[in-house]
Structure 1
Amino acid sequence: LWVGFAQAAPTLPPGSIVVLGDSLSAGYGLPSGAAWPQRLATALHQHKLPWTVVNAAISGDTSAGGRARLAALLAAEQPVLVLVELGANDALRGQPLATTGDNLRAIIGQVQASGARAGLIGMEIPPNFGPVYTRQFRTMYRQVADDTGAPLLPFLLAPIATDPTAFQEDGIHPTTAAQGPIAEHVADWLNAAFGLPPLALASTGH
């Protein structure tokens, strides 16, 4: 089910988890505090677990933007884990896939060099981009994960992707109600890839 790590994942030390992402993590169009990283933060707090979540996602951010602001984030937050959720805006702006891949590798390399662990969160591009590009975009994430050793969550929106009612009117950004299933999807991956305890939170905060 998951990609890019050994079965016996070493447990993550206590500390902060930074989400370096775009509008899908920043909570575009949602009430304050409704986005999936905040759902995850709340669940960790409710279970009295020793991790905090810093949502450093910015709507519209690209892999280049994330790369540019990473050093300051690492210095300020000193995270134990950085979740990299970037690349969709690169595709929407027609950036070459090779450039996006290079930026993601650089981000993950910088995170790992700081002593933190990195997780890569993949996205899927709408089918109107054409089957070849859609496939290449998906493959890019797997290649970056393979090259860096970072665990890969192949598709952030997998639990809701086929449900039109889970998206806002733009058809791109998930609704408030969809954030619980997304957060649980991420939590399952954090359990499998980074040894965090299981969290049941799909129904929280609707």
Structure 2
Amino acid sequence: MKTIFVFGDSLSEGVAISPRQAWPMLLAEKLRPVGPNFCVINASAGGSTTERGLRRLPTHLEYPVDIFVLELGVNDAFLGIPVEQTHANLQSMIDQVKTRNPNATVMIVGMQFPIAEPYSEYVAAFVKMFGELAEKNHAALVPNLLEDVVGDPKLNLPDRIHPNAAGHKVLVENVWRVLEPIAWEVGSK
């Protein structure tokens, strides 16, 4: 059995929808053609910052991980946590996973924000951080989880932050574009 371990915040946990409607659980359907030997574990928790993720991660590393999908950081941005600290926390999580699972494939799920004054420097550094982490760790990168979802009221809850069930169907496509070749490769081993 191959394990895909999704570690994220409310965008991966799914807010005000059934856990089965959240994009990590929708991956099961996408994985069917690849083979029946995949298990998706969604250990995402709403409100998670990267610091909270660092505290939560060790309890989840008792089991083997074949593909580690890391979707954290957006709550750090909302709280104005320095990008350098977010970067260091994400790197530490990747290091922990790779120490326990040296052959695991890492996939980083990034976010894009509109760059607006007076936050343009911060936002630019935040967006750039995901690519830097992916490059440094030879990881796959989903540049923008919320591509084609942000701003569309039909795909979001009334809070205009969290995707609804229809929005999660778009999110899984955004992730699958990057994950599919990785799943085929890992599944063939």
Interval of TM-score (by shorter of Structure 1 and Structure 2): 0.7 to 0.9
The structure with more helix, counted as a fraction of residues: 2
Q: CA deviation at 1:49?
A: 3.1
Which residue number in structure 2 is paired with residue 183 of structure 1? 172
Q: Are residue 39 (structure 1) and residue 23 (structure 2) matched?
A: no
Counterparts of 1:57-72 in structure 2, within 5 Å, are 57-72=44-59
Cα distance in 1 for residues equivalent to 2:113 and 2:122:
8
- In the alignment, which of 60, 75, 89 is matched to residue 73 of structure 1? 60
Partner of 1:196: 184
Task: Spell out the pairing of 1:67-146 with structure 2 (5 A cutoff).
Answer: 67-75=54-62, 77-114=63-100, 115=102, 116-125=104-113, 127=115, 130-146=119-135
Query: How far off its partner does 1:21 sit?
Result: 0.2
By how many angstroms is 1:143 displaced? 1.3
Check the 8 A contact 2:151/2:160 in 1, yes or no: no
| Aligned residue in 1 for 2:38 | 51
What is the CA–CA distance in structure 2 between the aligned matches of 1:40 and 1:111, rounded to whole Å? 21
Q: Deviations over 1:15-63 (max 9, x none)?
A: 1111000000000121332100111124325764321100100000111
Q: CA RMSD in A?
A: 2.0
Structure 1 segments unaligned to the other structure (5+ residues): 1-13, 198-206
- Say if 1:21 and 1:84, in contact at 8 Å, map to a contact too: yes
The answer to whether the Cα contact below 8 Å between 2:134 and 2:140 also exists between their aligned partners in 1 is yes
Counterpart of 2:64, as a letter, is: Q
TM-score (norm 1): 0.80
Match of 1:3 in 2: none
Q: Is the 8 A contact 1:109 1:148 kept in 2?
A: no
Instruction: Say how many residue pairs are matched.
Output: 182
The alignment's TM-score, normalised by the length of structure 2, stands at 0.87
**Residue 156 (structure 1) aligned with residue 145 (structure 2):** yes
Cα distance in 2 for partners of 1:157, 1:18 equals: 20
User: What is the rounded CA distance, in whole Å, between the counterparts of 2:67 and 2:14 in structure 1?
Assistant: 20
Deviations 1:116-174 (A, max 9, x none): 22111001235557322221110111111122221111111113235232111111101
Name the CA distance, whole Å, in 2 between partners of 1:140 and 1:53: 26
Q: Which region of structure 1 is more displaced relative to structure 2, 128-137 or 105-114? A: 128-137
Identical aligned residues as a percent: 33
Greater displacement, 113-122 / 54-63 = 113-122
Deviates further, 62-71 or 18-27:
62-71
